[in-house]
Amino acid sequence: MDAQKYVIRQISIFSENRPGRLAAIAHALGEEKVNILAFSIAEANGFGVVRALVDHPEKAHDKLMSLGFNVAFTDVIAVRMKDQPGGLYEVAKILGDAGVNIEYSYAYSGKEGAVLILRVDQVEEAIKKIKTSGATLLERSVFH
């Protein structure tokens, strides 16, 4: 199994917790014609981390770096969920049973159903377990 094709490059951006920072990031990506497919903001006291799946991660990374932002790539995976009660449970249970820890996660619901983005401690193991359980992993090519 080629697990690598399921590993998606998320960009993470360090941001101060003050008005206008998300706008600055979004404006930069817009200017570069980078489309944001999913994103979340994690907040701590005084600062935050903006995480995003985009169609051109390299372009986004370089643009934000050139503006002085702290930017990093992080590997995540994306799992298709049933957009109905119990959908999240199915996916979460697979990982829980396998002893794979979810560090953080966010989701979106699109035209073709709901998708769960996961950052896990054991990426390969998670991919294997999700595949064998019959759930659908989205390939990187779906995003970029």
Partner 1 sequence: MKSWDPRIEEMPKEDLRKMQYKLLKSLVYRLYSFSPFYHERMKEQNVHPDDIQELSDVKKLPFMFKRDLRDNYPDKIFTSTQEELVRYHVSSGTTGKPTVVGYTQNDLNAWTASLARALTSLGLGRGDVIQVSYGYGLFTGGLGMHYGAERIGATVLPTSVGNTERQIELMQDLGATAIACTPSYLLHIGEVAEKMGVDIKKDTKLRTGVLGAEPWTDRMRTRIEDWLGIKAYDIYGTSELSGPMFTECVEQKGFHIWSDLALVEIIDPKTGESLESGEKGELTITMLQKEALPMIRYRIGDITTMDEEVCACGRTHPRIQRIQGRVDDMLIIRGINVFPSQVEYALMGIPEVGQHFQIVVERKGALDDMLVRVELNKGSFSDKINDLMQVRQKVEHRLRNSLNVNVNVELVEPGSLPRFEGKAKRVVDKRSL
- Choose one: 14-22, 30-38, 82-90, 121-129; the region binding partner 1 (CB under 8 A): 14-22
CB of 46 to partner 1, least distance (A): 5
10, 144 Cβ separation under 8 angstroms: no
CB of 34 to partner 1, least distance (A): 18
Residues 80 to 139: which contact partner 1 by CB under 8 A? 103, 119
The closest alpha carbon to 118, from 94, 83, 85, 86, belongs to 94
* Helices (runs of H) and strands (runs of E) counted in the chain: 5, 6
Bridge partners, 117 (sequence order): 78, 106
- Work out which of 16, 58, 62, 83 binds partner 1, going by CB under 8 A: 16
Q: Largest Cα–Cα distance of the chain, in whole Å?
A: 45
The amino acid at residue 81 is: M
Phi-psi region of 86 (alpha: psi -120 to 50; beta: other; left: phi over 0): left
x/- binding map, residues 40-79, to partner 1, per CB under 8 A? --x-x-xx-x-x-------------x--xxxxx-x-----
Q: What residues line the site for partner 1 (CB under 8 A)?
A: 10, 12, 14-16, 42, 44, 46-47, 49, 51, 65, 68-72, 74, 103, 119
